[in-house]
Amino acid sequence: MIKKFIHQFASPKTYLFQVERAYKFILYFSIIIYILSLVWGLLFTQEDFVQGNSYRIIYLHVPASFLSQSLYISMAIASFVYLVWRVKLAAYLVISIAPIGALTTFIALTSGSIWGIPTWGTWWQWDARITSTLILFIMYLGLISLHTSFSNYEKADKLLSWLAIVGAINIPLIKKSVDWWSTLHQPASITLTDKPAIDPSMLYPLIGSMIGFFGIIICLVIISSKYQILLREKNKSWIKDYV
Amino acid sequence: MKLLNLEIIKLKKKTRSWLGPILVFWLIMIAYPLTVELSKENIEVGFFSVLWISILLSMMFATEDIFTEDYNDGSLEQTLINDAPFAYYVGVKVLIHWLLIGIPVSILSFIFSLGTTEDLFLSLLILPFSIMSSYIFLNLFVLGNALSLNKGSALGAIITLPLALPILIVLGKSIVAIQLEINYLGFMFLLLGSLSIIIVTVPIVVSFIIKAHLE
C-alpha cells in the first residue's frame, strides 16, 4: 500500500493536484506561526546577559542556517532517488530546491554578518563555520549554473544530481566545523543529545520561528516545483485540466 | 598496461598540456616575490598560501581538456563500450596527469620552499603535502570537467572549486602545525584518508557523468 502511495505521489500530475490543495493552508499557517514567534521573541523575551538585544536576530539567522543545510540534504536525497529509481518528480524537486537553498544560505550569511558587528566587532571572519557556509552558497550557485547551461533537461538533471550528491560532503563539514576547529562561531545551543544551552524563554519562540520559517520555505519550494512541472510537462494533455 | 602506455604517449605528445601547467606554477612562484617587500620575513608570510593556490591553479589548467579531445574524436564512446570498466580509464588518465604534472609541481614546491624558508625540515614535509594535494585537486577538477564536458572547462572548474576549499583550509592549518611542530602527521593522515576516498570514488562518479553525456 505504501509502495502504491509513493508510486502515485511520484507522478508529477498527482503531486501538482495534491499540493495545490495543501500549500496555501501550510503557507498561511506558517506565516502566522512565524509572526507570532517573532513578536514573542522580539517584544516579550528578556535581554541576553552578554549580548543585550542583538541576540534577537537568532529568530531569523538560526532557522535560515538550519534550513540551508537541510535543503541541501533534501536535494542530495532527491538526487539519489532520481538516479536510482528514475523518478521524474525527484529531478524536478532537485532543481526547485536549489534557488531556495541559495536564498536561505544568503539570508543566513547576511543575518550572521549583521549579528557579527555587535558580537564580534566585525562583519566577516574567515572562521570555519562561516567559510564553509559560504562554500555551501557557492555550491548552490554552481548547481543552478550547471543546470541552466544545458538545453537537454534530462542530461542536466542527471549531471545536477551527481553534483548534488558529491557536494553533500560539505554538510557534515559545516555541521561539525564548530566542534573540529576552534572557531569564533559558537557551538550548537540545541543538540539532540544534551539539554539546550539556551534559556526556555528564548528557546520556545526560536522553535516557533523555526517551524514557521520551515513552512514558508516548504511553500516556496512547492511554488518553484509547480513552475518546474508546468515547464517540463507543458506538452502533456493533463496540464490543460490544471491550467 | 596498454591503456597506461597509450595515455602516457598521448599526453607526452601534447607538450602544451603537461608543460603548460608546470610553467604556470613556476611563473606564479617566481612572480610572487616581486609583489612583496623584498625581505625574508615578508616573503615567508604569504609564501605557503601562494604555494597551495598555485598548485590548485596549475592542476586546474592541467585538466582543462582532459576529455575534450577524446570526446571530439569519438574515442570516449569507444572506450565506454570496451570491456574494461570506464572508471579504470578515468583513473588511469588522472594518474598519468599526476605523474607528468603533479609530481614535477610537487618537486618544484619543495625547491621553492627550500629557497624561500631555508628550512630543510619544513620543505621536506611540504613534499608529501604537495603530492597528495595535487592528486586531490586533479581528481576534483576532472570531476568538474566531466560535468561540463562540452561546455568549456571554466564552468566545471567554478562548480568544483568549492569542493577544493576545505582541502585548502587543511593545507593552511598543516603549515601552522609543521611550523609549531604539533600534530602535522595528523593533517597528513587526514589528507591521505581524503585522497584514498577520492581516488576510488571520483573515477566511478566521473564514469557515470560521462555516460550521462554520451547517452
Q: How far apart are alpha carbons A10 and A130 in whole angstroms?
A: 36
Nearest to A162 by CA among B166, B64, B144, B81: B144
**What is the ipTM for the molecules in this complex?**
0.79
Interchain contact, B163 vs A149, CB within 8 Å: no
What span, in angstroms and rounded, lies between the C-alpha atoms of A18 and A93? Answer: 15
Domain map of chain B by residue range?
2-214
- Check residue A195 and give its pLDDT: 66
A68-120, pLDDT tens digit by residue?
A: 999 999 999 999 999 998 888 999 999 999 999 999 999 999 999 998 888 88
**CA–CA distances in Å: residue A159 to residues A137, B108, B143, B198:** 19, 36, 11, 18
Q: Do B148 and A132 touch (CB under 8 A)?
A: no
Q: What is the CA B138 to chain-centroid distance, rounded?
A: 3
pLDDT band at A177 (very low <50, low <70, confident <90, very high): confident
pLDDT band at B38 (very low <50, low <70, confident <90, very high): low
Instruction: Give the count of beta carbons closer than 10 Å to the beta carbon of residue A6.
Output: 12
**Residues A8-39: tens digit of each pLDDT:** 667 888 888 888 888 889 999 999 999 999 99
Of A139, A145, A166, the CB nearest to B205: A166
Per the listing, cell 559545516 goes with: A174
Q: In this predicted model, what pLDDT tens digit does every residue of B159-189 receive, in sequence order? A: 888 888 888 888 988 988 888 888 888 889 9
Best residue of A169, A181, A182 to probe chain B, by most B CBs closer than 10 Å: A169
Chain A CA closest to residue B156: A146
Indicate yes or no: CB of B162 within 8 angstroms of CB of A149. Answer: no
Chain A hits for B176, Cβ within 8 Å: none
What's A47's DSSP letter?
Answer: P
- Residues A211, A31 contacting (CB under 8 angstroms): no
Residue B59 has pLDDT above 90, yes or no: yes
**What does the pLDDT read at residue A190?**
61
**Average pLDDT estimate for B50-69:** 90
Q: Shortest CB distance from B155 goes to which of A132, A136, A149?
A: A149
Count of CB atoms within 10 A of residue B181's CB?
A: 9
pLDDT (average), residues A48-76: 88
**Start-end of H helices in chain B:** 2-13, 15-31, 40-62, 68-73, 75-80, 86-97, 103-117, 120-147, 153-180, 184-214
- Please report which confidence band the pLDDT of residue B40 belongs to, taking 50, 70 and 90 as the band edges: low
Residues near B24 by beta carbon (within 8 Å), at least 6 away in sequence? B54, B57, B58, B61
State whether residue B117 sits within 8 Å of chain A by CB. no
Contact B201, A207 (CB under 8 A): no
Measured CA to CA, the distance from residue A155 to residue B214 in angstroms comes to: 9
Q: Taking all residues of chain B, what is their mean pLDDT, rounded to a whole number?
A: 87
Tell whether the model's pLDDT for residue A236 goes beyond 90.
Answer: no
**Would the CB atoms of A135 and B166 count as touching at under 8 Å?**
yes
Residue in B closest to A136 by C-alpha: B162
> Judged by CB atoms within 8 Å, which residues 42-71 of B form the interface with A?
none
Inform me whether the pLDDT recorded for A185 exceeds 90: no
Nearest chain A Cα distance for residue B13, angstroms: 31
3-state secondary structure (DSSP) of residue A48: strand
From chain B, pick out residues whose CB is under 8 angstroms from the CB of A155. Answer: 212-213, 215
Provide the mean pLDDT of chain A.
Answer: 85
To 5 degrees, how large is the angle CA B92–CA B159–CA B62?
Answer: 40
Please list the residues that pair with A48 across neighbouring strands: A52
Decide if A159 touches B, using CB distance below 8 A. Answer: yes
Question: Mean pLDDT, to the nearest integer, of B46-64?
Answer: 91
Q: Which residues in chain B (141-200) have CB-CB distances under 8 A to chain A? A: 143, 147-148, 151, 155, 158-163, 165-166, 169, 173
B213 close contact with A: CB closer than 8 A: yes
**Closest chain B residue to A168, measured at CA:** B163
Q: pTM for the whole thing?
A: 0.85
Residues of B in contact with A159 (CB under 8 A): 147, 209, 212-213
